[in-house]
Amino acid sequence: MDKVMRKIYYIFGLLSGFSIFLACNSDQNKIVKQPRVIPMKDFFRNPENASFMLSPSGDYIAFTKPVNQRMNVFVTKIGSGDTTQVTAIKDRDVAGYFWKTDKRIIYAKDNGGDENFHLFAVDTDGKNGKELTPFAKVNTQVIDDLRDNDSMMLIGMNKENPELFDVYRLNVNTGDLKLAAKNPGGVADWITDHDGKIRAAVQSDGVNNVLLYRDDEKQNFKQVLRTNFKESVNPLFFSFDNKYVYACSNLKRDKAALIKFDIANGKELEILFEHPEVDVEDLNYSRKRKVLTQIMYETAKPEKKFLDEETEEIYNKVKEKLGEDYEIYFTSENKNEDKFIIRTISDRSLGATYFYDVKQDKLTKIGDRAPWLNETELAVMKPVSYQTKDGLTVNGYLTLPVGIEAKNLPVVINPHGGPWARDSWGWNPEVQFLVNRGYAVLQINFRGSTGYGRKFWESGFKQWGKTMQNDISEGVEWLIKEGIADPKKVAIYGGSYGGYATLAGITFTPDLYACAVDYVGVSNLFTFMGTVPPYWKPFMEMMYEMVGDPKKDSVLLHNASPVFYVDKIKVPLFIAQGANDPRVNKAESDQIVEALKKRGVKVEYMVKENEGHGFYNEENQFDFYGTMEKFLAKHLGGRVETSK
């Protein structure tokens, strides 16, 4: 997927002919009776620990853990047993962090969910803290952490123009900033070589993407390739001699392939890997040995193709120690690449973290992320695929309650956000929570979802509330036909675009659902288009082509906006919204709530003043999911927690 498109896709963070196959071992779901009602907070509480990272030397490990319900950064010296709290944030979780040196850590945090992320630096003893980007209403991006430079990094900020991100060289000790590259207009992505030089950029006018290149920073950029936004050559990183780039590209093909690209002349040189069913997503490499290591893509489950024998050998050694039941990810390494942090995860487990010493071939468990959850009580997520009535193959996931016959069940249909994203196999606390309460959960990668090639993605253009919604509706019909769903007990719940699909479902197909939960969802496509963050504005022409132009396609947008059809809503509705949401403005929820109240229809409405696009503070998640639990139980008859 094009990096420019990724910046748009993060906006929001079934069916005739279903075929179902298990993505699990035969010994899974050993419990034959229905498990206990697991406390709601156990699904959504902060993890015991998370985000482990090795320092450059490999002598220290940093990680996050909750302090007074907020995830803060801690550091421990390997083998010492001593741990130091590095940050002391009280209002908001640390959004992310990384090691700059063995003595200094960089972290990011926004304010109340406004998504204007600021960078901070602090020494590993918790002292010498400094806000590096103290600018109001300014968002910060990390362009290059300049791993080999102890004091400098490259960042992007929309400080001078809220619509454009310029590049700055930032001193992480003093906070000094120097302009490194002025955005000429429309540059959405900056690409550095292995020496930290800004050598390429992707420019967009909202419809057309232009790949810019220069041999060194003294030269001006030149245009080397121009494509429509539907096509992409997405540079991942430069070759080790800094002459070429490795890229994912769907140019002249449907599925994105991994290619070697002559960036100076805008020409594809070689196809390294392509898959017949899905897009290739990413490529890893060894910084130390300067070799390509593995290719990543996703079918029903995450997949990898190894390119390097040493990497594959290390992976297989770890896999042999941990077994076949978990996906394994190498999430961090030291500069010598002889020490690794390893994370496990599955559909029924939030997983554990391990430290692996290559030289000693020693794997040490650091800790479980959620030791209070017993995976034998949780449900298997089953990949599904089907043909729609108009002949399209769609993929998704069906999760059924443990210990209950899959017959005449209450069901929650759970469309994903995006919509230019996809659901994936793996741990999903919402799904496991709902299934534990006795509901079957259906997730569908409806048309317009990403990862399945251009044709499938483009089939969702200007189809909000139409064929995209039909894919979801056909899922309900299939579950009823197969006897899995009780036709009188089907709910729909989703966030962001999934919230839109929820509202569309109960307005355009009101007889399908017994109740609905809309979480930060779009209700009016006209007002939604008019309240986007300023740094989205360069991409609005692209949005118009993908969703609809408010002027040229006014009838289309009107017909697809649930707010204009509230008279069709006849089922109970619960809406949740963050007051500071920069993507789906609070007005999206306000107006549909007001319209329903004018009709005398009761609607539960939860607003959190310190949240944005979704609830991140632990106490707000507890409030939301606790209310959802009671709401669904009232209207679908599922289980509820009796003692809290």
Rounded CA separation 496/582 (Å): 12
Active-site residue identified among 118, 581, 589, 635: 581
User: Does the annotation mark 613 as catalytic?
Assistant: yes
User: Does the annotation mark 459 as catalytic?
Assistant: no
52: left (phi over 0), alpha (psi -120 to 50) or beta: beta
Q: Over the range 624-642, which residues count as b (16 or more CB within 10 Å of their CB) and which as e? A: bbbebbebbbebbebbebe
Rounded CA separation 320/312 (Å): 12
* Three state DSSP letters for 7-76: HHHHHHCCCCCCEECCCCCCCCCCCCCCCCCCCHHHHHCCCCCEEEEECCCCCEEEEEEEECCEEEEEEE
Is the link from the previous residue into 419 a cis peptide, with omega within 30 of 0?
Answer: yes
Active-site residue identified among 118, 275, 416, 613: 613
Contacts of 254 (CB under 8 A, 6+ apart): 453, 454, 455
Rounded CA separation 427/67 (Å): 24
Rounded CA separation 4/637 (Å): 44
**Cβ neighbour number for residue 382 with a 10 Å cutoff:** 18
User: Does the annotation mark 581 as catalytic?
Assistant: yes
Rounded CA separation 169/165 (Å): 13
Rounded CA separation 618/93 (Å): 9
Contacts of 589 (CB under 8 A, 6+ apart): 518, 520, 521, 523, 575, 577, 605, 607
Active-site residue identified among 204, 496, 523, 561: 496
What residues pair up with 612 in beta bridges, in sequence order?
Answer: 614
Residues carrying an active site annotation: 496, 581, 613
